[in-house]
Amino acid sequence: MDRFLAGVERRAYRMAWIATSNREDALDIVQDAMLRLVKNYAGHPEAEWGPLFQRIVQSVIRDWYRRHQVRNRWRQWLGFGKGVADDEAAGDPLETTIASPAPGPDGRLASQHAIDALDAALHALPLRQQQVFLLRQWEGLSVADTAAAMGISAGSVKTHYSRAVQTLRDKLEDHWP
Amino acid sequence: MNERQDDFLRTTATVLDEAEHGIDGATRTRLAAARREALAAAERPRRPLWLLPAGGLAVVATVAALTVGLWQVQPVDDGLAALEDIALLSDEADPAFYADLDFYTWLADGAPPLEDDNG
């Protein structure tokens, strides 16, 4: 189990980071997902751990997202702190990222620029689209496997994926290095 | 058109891979620690329900009282939404207990479609 988790934890962290844009929250999500897998499925065949872990990670991310929305709502009701409306008023992070200085001859800088732009564009997607895109395009899951991991229908997966791809192309295609 | 889209999608996968490989050492260390903690925590016996900390119950009670108070000032669109808020916020009273409860509910429901939360 330790070896399995070591092999999947970084990718899970990146997915959580894209959803939360917060390192501590992303680390919490990964640890929570690992704990749930170990507690409930350590006795299952190793071949099942991958799909189960994917399903748990996506579920924990959605739980985080709901709690985040509720906290924002309560903060707004109570009249303190920063809510979603403030986040939106602060501007689209993607615009800021794309507007940053053009990459220089340093390949690493160009690469980091592309990573930042993609992260921002993915983060700006509705959560479902973001999750479906990452599972399909990055994890390489089939439509059926993505639907199983997300607990949604295959038709919904296709719709979310198509919308995500269109939005990302519109935002990024002209800016890729 | 399709060729351009394929190129674009290949690039996104490459960029995502680069980002994964570029995770800094401090974060990798934290991930390894989180993994060890998860493996160790799974070995520990579960706390019985009756040992739910008093602090956790106090948080639940405070959130419930606050909800009722706010409801009188600014009614919530849907009564169920406020109850869900309580459940979500009180999640922090005892994360392990409530997280497991959520998980078992999710398993029992066979992970039903959740189309309405976003996207």
- B34-88 confidence digits (pLDDT tens): 999 989 887 776 665 555 555 566 666 666 666 666 556 555 555 556 555 555 5
pLDDT at residue number B88: 53
Write down the mean pLDDT value for chain B.
68
The domain tally of chain A equals 2
Contact (CB<8Å) A165/B5: yes
pLDDT at residue number B29: 95
Distance CA B38, CA A5 (A): 10
**Residues in B 89-108 with any Cβ partner in A closer than 8 A:** 89, 91, 95, 99-100, 102-103, 106
My answer on whether A50 and A28 are in the same domain is: yes
Domain boundary pick from A82, A112, A135 = A82
- B60-75 confidence digits (pLDDT tens): 666 666 666 655 655 5
My answer on whether A23 and A64 are in the same domain is: yes
pLDDT at residue number A94: 40
The runs of H, that is alpha helices, within B1-119 are 2-21, 25-43, 54-73, 79-89, 95-108
pLDDT at residue number B80: 56
CA distance A71 to chain B (A): 8
- Tell me what the mean pLDDT of segment B1-10 comes to: 85
Q: Are A56 and A33 in contact (CB under 8 A)?
A: yes
Q: Are A29 and A64 in contact (CB under 8 A)?
A: yes
My answer on whether A108 and A176 are in the same domain is: yes
Short-list A59, A74, A167, A171, CA closest to A117? A171
pLDDT at residue number A55: 92
CA distance A105 to chain B (A): 18
**Residues in B 56-85 with any Cβ partner in A closer than 8 A:** 70, 74, 84-85
Domain boundary pick from A82, A103, A136 = A82
The parent domain of residue A44 ranges over 1-82
My answer on whether A67 and A135 are in the same domain is: no
DSSP one-letter code for A137: I
- CA Rg value for chain A: 18
Query: What is this structure's pTM?
Result: 0.67
Check pLDDT > 60 for residue B96.
Answer: no
- Tell me what the mean pLDDT of segment B14-31 comes to: 93
Q: Which residues of chain A have pLDDT under 70?
A: 77-110, 175-177
Q: Is A166 on the interface with B (CB under 8 A)?
A: no
My answer on whether A16 and A68 are in the same domain is: yes
**Residues in B 27-46 with any Cβ partner in A closer than 8 A:** 27-28, 30-32, 34-35, 37-39, 41-42
My answer on whether A64 and A145 are in the same domain is: no
Domain boundary pick from A18, A49, A82 = A82
A32: its two tokens: 């929570």
| CATH number, residue A173 | 1.10.10.10
pLDDT at residue number B94: 45
pLDDT at residue number A173: 82
Instruction: Report ipTM (2 d.p.).
Output: 0.78
CA distance A173 to chain B (A): 7
Contact (CB<8Å) A70/B89: yes
My answer on whether A177 and A108 are in the same domain is: yes
Contact (CB<8Å) A115/B18: yes
Distance CA B96, CA B98 (A): 6
Q: Is A15 on the interface with B (CB under 8 A)?
A: no
